[in-house]
Amino acid sequence: MISPKDALEHTLSDVSFPKVLGDTLDKTYLISLIGFVVDPGELHYFDPSRQTYDFAVLVFDIQDHDNNVIQCIAIGSFAEQFHDEWRRARGERIVCVLQWWGIHRSSGKNVVQTVGKCSRLDINPDMPEDEEFLEILAAEEANEAGSTASED
């Protein structure tokens, strides 16, 4: 049995984007990622005449604090969940937490994709990892702004 969403707040052990992109991880294991959405994509259906979650797919991109971007493929109910949560999300940076996603090779690059019903997807979750990720981004942006100002 999978614990309720709030009970999972301390179980996120994310992997680095470069490891996923660099093809150094064993694709038989499921991974977790945290990043901010840079392209929300659009909701599509494999069969446009049957617009139910069974036929839904959504491709979106997330970025880490080092500007690495990974393409994510949400299938079925996860596609509709992402679409609905994205539309309701507020904030300058929308954080996306992916848990138990699989790594797949597509068009010569690694992408991550939902795996059956075991994957999880959260937009702007209320968890320590989300806050830590945003703090890292803010610190890096402050450092970049300070570097730019000192160069002028």
Query: In order along the chain (152 residues), what is the average pLDDT of each group of 10 residues?
Result: 41 77 88 93 84 84 94 95 91 88 92 93 81 74 67 58
d(CA 1, CA 47): 32
Read off the tokens for 151.
């160069």
Query: In the numeric block, which tokens belong to residue 24?
Result: 């150094």
122 Cβ contact list (under 8 Å, min separation 6):
5, 85, 96, 97, 99
Placement of tokens 């179980």 in the chain:
11
Mean pLDDT of the chain: 82
Structure tokens at 69: 């971007």
The pLDDT score that the predictor gives to residue 2 is 39
From its phi and psi, is residue 7 left (phi > 0), alpha (psi between -120 and 50) or beta? alpha
Supply the DSSP string of 67-90, one letter for each residue: --EEEEEEETHHHHHHHHHHHH--
- The 10s digit of each residue's pLDDT in 72-105 is 999 999 999 999 999 998 877 899 999 999 999 9
Q: What is the spatial distance between Cα 12 and Cα 99, in angstroms, rounded to a whole number?
A: 7
64-80: per-residue pLDDT in tens? Answer: 989 999 999 999 999 99
Topology adopted by domain 13-151:
OB fold (Dihydrolipoamide Acetyltransferase, E2P) (2.40.50)
Please tell me the pTM assigned to this model: 0.78
Please, what's the b/e burial string for 47-76 (b: 16 or more CB within 10 A of its CB; e: otherwise)? eeeeeeeebbbbbbbbbbbeebebbbbbbb
Q: What are the domain boundaries of the chain?
A: 13-151
- Cα(124)–Cα(92) distance, rounded to whole angstroms? 11
